[in-house]
Amino acid sequence: MKRYLILEDGTTFAGQAFGDLTKEVSGEVVFNTGMTGYQEAITDPSYTNQLITFTYPLIGNYGIDQNRSQSLKATCTAVIVHQLAEQSFHYTSQESLDNFLKTQQIPGISGIDTRALTKHLRQHGTMAGILSKQAHVTNFAKAAQQTLTEKEPAYQTQYYSTNLAKHHVVLIDFGVKQAIIDNLLAHECSVDVVPYASDFTTIANLNPDGILLSNGPANPTDYADSLPLIQQLQTHYPLAGICLGHQLFALANGATTYQLSYGHRGLNHPVKNLITGKTIMTSQNHGYAVAADSLATTPLQVTQVEGNDGSVEGLKHETLPAISVQYHPEANPGPSDGNSFFNQFNQLMTEGVLQHA
């Protein structure tokens, strides 16, 4: 069955339908350059309302294994590939990507020149697109941007314990990835995951040693209501932020954010640590960034920058025990170079000078 991807500037790509065959969907068209990790991306809540183009030419060849999912369901809007693997080979594979997307009601399109599509997005900037059975559609009204009202965070409100717990972390769920929870457990932290609309008292009653602000979808400025909570939390507990959490930590301290002309989505983004001078390879997925020139009047310092475009990748508070990174230190999949972030967060919780509430 034929299916079309129509970009808001009229550029049209024809391909074959897979996954859910009935839906017509729209959203922001983004590209991910990872050679692996399609399942992690498809189930990462940060991709909510986005049509993911995978630039690696063969997608699906190691199938789907429930253990790799980053949330309870597929969260992106559509999947765009060059070639869909007809067979999946990995020993842990439980089903094919095509089947998985059918059950998850996510449409896909294959046979797309994903290199041409990606070059187009890099040249003209991020844009909306519609996936349709028809070659001519113009209804982009809903597609333009993801907004907070359209997103559904994972809300994995749950307690995770580990025998070795040295610290107790309250993880604020803006659309958290399972790998963040797994990494906290592996770093000897027990974890309470709470919805982002939780109030200060509810969080304080959980007796945290530290607060972690999760990743999540949409424009960080959509979360203005959460900033007073973050301001209050950072003066009571050691605090860390990842990706959206990093952006919200910046906004809560008076910085601003902006939309990148096209996002960073892949597994090999160089990040330079300005304190150690070391560059590491990181896994990334973001379309917004903290404006470096907005930081001068804030209590925040840049600790890390992206190697390609110099954008802000890490922050620390000058006086409070609070740090954040724009990349994904849980790095699942991808290089684990950024993983020491969790050791740093542990150190903040061990040495944090603040009295609890």
Ligand X SMILES: NC(=O)CC[C@H](N)C(=O)O
Among residues 107 and 287, whose Cβ is nearest to ligand X?
A: 287
Nearest distance, CB of residue 259 and ligand X, angstroms: 8
CB atoms within 10 A of CB 58: 12
Residues identified as active-site: 243, 328, 330
Nearest distance, CB of residue 257 and ligand X, angstroms: 8
User: Which member of 13, 288, 341, 342 binds ligand X (CB under 6 A)?
Assistant: 288
- Burial call 267-298: b when 16+ CB within 10 Å, e when fewer: bebebbbeeeeeebbbbbbbbbbbeeebbeeb
Among residues 106 and 244, whose Cβ is nearest to ligand X?
A: 244
β-pairing, 78-80 vs 107-110, is: parallel
Query: Which residue from 136, 144, 139 is spatially nearest to 11, judged by alpha carbons?
Result: 136
| Contact in structure between 316 and 303 (CB atoms under 8 Å) | yes
User: Which member of 130, 243, 280, 325 binds ligand X (CB under 6 A)?
Assistant: 243
Q: Which residues are annotated as a binding site for L-glutamine?
A: 46, 216, 244, 247, 285, 287-288
Among residues 285 and 346, whose Cβ is nearest to ligand X?
A: 285
Number of residues forming the site for ligand X (CB under 6 A): 11
CB atoms within 10 A of CB 124: 14
Residues numbered 296-355 forming contacts with ligand X, rule: CB under 6 A: none
CA distance 102 to 44: 18
Q: What is the DSSP letter of 356?
A: P
Among residues 37 and 287, whose Cβ is nearest to ligand X?
A: 287
CA distance 276 to 190: 30
Per-residue binder mask for ligand X (CB under 6 A), 41-70, x = binder = -----x------------------------
Among residues 251 and 300, whose Cβ is nearest to ligand X?
A: 251
Nearest distance, CB of residue 43 and ligand X, angstroms: 13
Nearest distance, CB of residue 215 and ligand X, angstroms: 3
| Contact in structure between 97 and 59 (CB atoms under 8 Å) | yes
Per-residue binder mask for ligand X (CB under 6 A), 74-103, x = binder = ------------------------------
Phi, psi (degrees; rounded to nearest 5) at 314: -155, 145
CA distance 320 to 86: 53
User: Which member of 244, 252, 290, 300 binds ligand X (CB under 6 A)?
Assistant: 244
Nearest distance, CB of residue 45 and ligand X, angstroms: 8
CB atoms within 10 A of CB 324: 30
Per-residue binder mask for ligand X (CB under 6 A), 198-227, x = binder = -----------------xxxx---------
319, with CB counted inside 10 A (0-12, 13-18, 19+), is: exposed
Q: Does 285 bind ligand X (CB under 6 A)?
A: yes
Q: Where are the beta strands (DSSP E) in the chain?
A: 2-7, 12-19, 25-32, 50-54, 58-59, 78-80, 83-84, 107-110, 127-132, 158-160, 167-173, 189-195, 210-213, 239-242, 257-273, 279-290, 300-306, 312-317, 322-325
Among residues 5 and 176, whose Cβ is nearest to ligand X?
A: 176
CA distance 125 to 123: 6
Per-residue binder mask for ligand X (CB under 6 A), 15-44, x = binder = ------------------------------
Nearest distance, CB of residue 120 and ligand X, angstroms: 20
Residues within the interface to ligand X (CB under 6 A): 46, 215-218, 243-244, 285-288
